[in-house]
Amino acid sequence: MPEYVIAIVATTVLGIFGFTFRRVDVLESKVDKLEVKILETFVDRANIDSRFDQLWSRLDRFETKLDDVIFDKIGIIKVNNYTQKDCKND
């Protein structure tokens, strides 16, 4: 089989794949834009802000509990948000 036939077949196959994947990328970007529009219309900013405030407050509580456990393990006394180490440096 001559080399030019192999080159033509390979070019055609790769061209079809490239065209298909390009169309998939275009469709994916259109779907992303549609998702953003739907979220903008059905979810208001106040709801998102309140959910994030709840999330941050839970993470703060978790961090405080984790700090208390760590301080208890290593023997640092925590009084009124100051640790024993902080008081020695003052």
Give the tens place of pLDDT for each residue, 63-77: 989 988 888 888 776
Query: Residue 87 — very low, low, confident or very high, per pLDDT cuts 50/70/90?
Result: low
Give the end-to-end CA distance of the chain in Å, rounded to a whole number: 87
Contact call for residues 77 and 84 (beta carbons, < 8 A)? yes
Which has more confidence, 87 or 48?
A: 48
Query: For residue 12, what are the contacts with CB-CB under 8 A and spacing of at least 6?
Result: none
Q: What is the pLDDT of residues 18-76, one digit of tens each?
A: 888 888 888 898 998 988 888 778 878 888 889 999 999 999 999 989 988 888 888 77
Instruction: Please check the confidence at residue 15 and state whether its pLDDT lies above 80.
Output: yes
What are the angstrom distances between the C-alpha of 20 and each of 15, 17, 28, 31? 8, 5, 12, 16
